[in-house]
């Protein structure tokens, strides 16, 4: 039962994080004047940033427990520089 609760929690968090993309698509359908390329780009960029930050936070916390703060700091710095 505990495994099912963990899976359900992960699904709900994933739906919550990905909902910004669906909300953006719904907004464009409801208000067609929002379909300007700049507006769509801003909405999609926000949604993608939300997903990336959720994943990176989870991975950074796991990395902190395994490798310590120095390894996580160096990895985040290298990753941000590469991006």
Q: Which tokens in the block code for residue 63?
A: 């990395």
Instruction: Answer for the pair 51, 18: CB distance below 8 angstroms, yes or no.
Output: yes
Q: Is the pTM of this model over 0.85?
A: no
Question: Could you tell me the sign of the dihedral formed by the alpha carbons of 27, 28, 34, 39, in that order?
Answer: positive
Instruction: Give per-residue pLDDT as tens, 11-29.
Output: 888 787 777 778 877 877 8
> What's the whole-number mean pLDDT along residues 16-44?
78
Domain positions in the chain: 2-82
């Amino acid at each position: 039962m505990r495994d099912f609760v963990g899976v359900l929690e992960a699904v709900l968090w994933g739906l919550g994080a990905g909902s910004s993309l669906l909300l953006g698509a719904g907004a464009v359908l409801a208000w067609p004047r929002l379909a300007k390329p700049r507006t769509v780009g801003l909405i999609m960029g926000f949604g993608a940033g939300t997903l990336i930050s959720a994943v990176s936070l989870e991975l950074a916390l796991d990395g902190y427990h395994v490798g310590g703060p120095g390894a996580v700091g160096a990895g985040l710095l290298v990753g941000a520089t590469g991006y």
